[in-house]
Structure 1
Amino acid sequence: MKKWINVEEIGQLYLEKILVTFDIPILFVCSNGKNKKYLCLNIGDEDGTTVIAEISKATLSAMQQNKIPMEAVYRQAIGKKLIIAKYDENSKKIISEVENSETVAANFLPQKGKFLCEKE
């Protein structure tokens, strides 16, 4: 697995699987050294702002099978915590903060009700 970023609250993250990509990965799965899974959503083109949610393997599997919408996965994050991480150009460091997964603004998450593999 490829090293991604080191976040103060959870440690070093390793890129495990890209689920959605355009020019860069948009939605992807990472793990840390403790084998915990994290669903990561890149929402910031300029500063690489990423919303990170700890999830269970069962939740990840259910999302990939279109049983759970993507937004619901974030709202149901383990510990009800989301980490918002971004690169600070001035300090050349990753800056992160913890948000409540149930109350974080909707613009930080995938559109409500949307599944990973939408059928046309």
Structure 2
Amino acid sequence: KPLIHLVNRDASEQYFMVFTGQGVEVADLKGNRYSVRGYNGYANCEHPRNDLRLITIADYTFVANRNKLTAMKSTLTHADYGSMTRRCVINVRGGQYGRTLKILINDVQLAILKMPVG
């Protein structure tokens, strides 16, 4: 019993992802099959419908295998990352042209971004 996940990007790009428990297959609605590159066996499991959870957001499909323990590696991927004591990502969902955006933490300005004019 495979798990079938529909990816509906737009009217011309719609795909079925089929998780068989021993691999992943991808086909469009016309039956054309596509190769899956770089698959490492993460979604292999005995009961895909019960063991896997999927969600597609924009161009990415995230797969969670409830039987696999996930953990971070002990090595850092960015050479300078260890030299910084703290990092964060700030997402600005909206803004206006010609405005200045400032990042303040505890009343200390840490960053500034001037938006372009019109």
Structure with more relative contact order (C-alpha pairs < 8 Å, separation 6 or more): 1
Q: TM-score, normalised by structure 2?
A: 0.25
Question: Is the helix fraction higher in 1 or 2?
Answer: 1
* Structure with greater Cα Rg: 2
Question: Is the strand fraction higher in 1 or 2?
Answer: 1
